[in-house]
Each structure stands twice: as C-alpha cells, then as structure tokens.
Amino acid sequence: MFEPPSVHAHELRNGGRLSGDERNLWRQRIFQIDEAEAGERELTLARAQSLSGQFIFDVQTHFVRDDFEHKELLGLTQFAGGNWNPKLKDDGMSLARYKLSNYVKDVYYDSDTNITLLSGAPFDDPTWWCCPTSRSSRRVS
C-alpha cells in the first residue's frame, strides 16, 4: 500500500507551499489507479480495504435547506449522471437529493467520510442561500 511521504511546512520550498512538481508527485501517487484495479471488482475491493483505515476529512460539503425551491440546481445532477455516475439518472431528479437527510446518508453512511466541514455558498439573492449560517453552525449527527 502506498504511504505518502510525511511533509512538514518547514521542509517545503515557496514559503510552506508545495511546488508544482511536488503537487504533481502527490497527485500521481495518491490518485494512481492501476488499469487492472479499475476493471476487476476483486482488485477494486482489495484496494478499498487497504485504504479503509484512513481518516477522511471532507473540507467542503453542502446541503440545501428544506424550503429551497431552485430546481436549476438539478443541472448538477444531470451533468454528474451524464458524465460520472449513470445511476444518478435512474434515481430520479429531485431536490431531495440535496437535502439534509440525503446528505447524511451519502456522506456518513454510504462513504468512508469521518468528519466534514459544512460550508455555504454566498449569493446576492437570499433565496439561493443553501443553508443559512445559523443552521450550518449546529452539529449534525
């Protein structure tokens, strides 16, 4: 199993930031998927198992408030269903996909995520506010 090298800010050039070459090295190692692994379920499961002990901290997650009405947001589901996950098209297009109950299911039950940072998306039009700060600052568990 790949173990990324330990990197400390004092070891990095450019004032504590990764250089382009260093970022590319990390991307190549972390996101490298063998062709056989991508095509054979047993190898995919073995890789998932080998990484199952990792701590996953998703630093940008969102859900929409219950009274959110902007169906234009469904364009994200259409794009994802047409380009990444065809099953999304079978699940139907509804704003329920973006609401709290589905967020909890997708993020905590159907993934390996341990903790998230809930973030908002600012808009000039308050009707587009996905989740007001007063709501997102509460603990969701």
Does residue 116 contact residue 57 with C-beta atoms inside 8 Å? yes
What integer is the mean pLDDT of 94-106?
Answer: 90
Cα three-residue angle 107-111-115, rounded to 5 degrees = 55
Q: What percent of the chain has pLDDT over 90?
A: 5
pLDDT above 70 (res 137): no
Q: How confident is the model over 124-139, as a mean pLDDT?
A: 71
Is pLDDT of 5 > 60?
A: no
18-46 tens-digit pLDDT? 566 666 665 556 666 777 777 788 888 88
**For range 59-69, the mean pLDDT:** 88
Are 84 and 108 in contact by the 8 Å Cβ rule? The answer is: no
Question: Structure tokens of 3?
Answer: 């173990």
Task: Name 20's Cβ contacts closer than 8 Å, sequence gap at least 6.
Answer: none
Residue, of 71 and 22, whose pLDDT is higher: 71
pTM of the model as a whole: 0.60
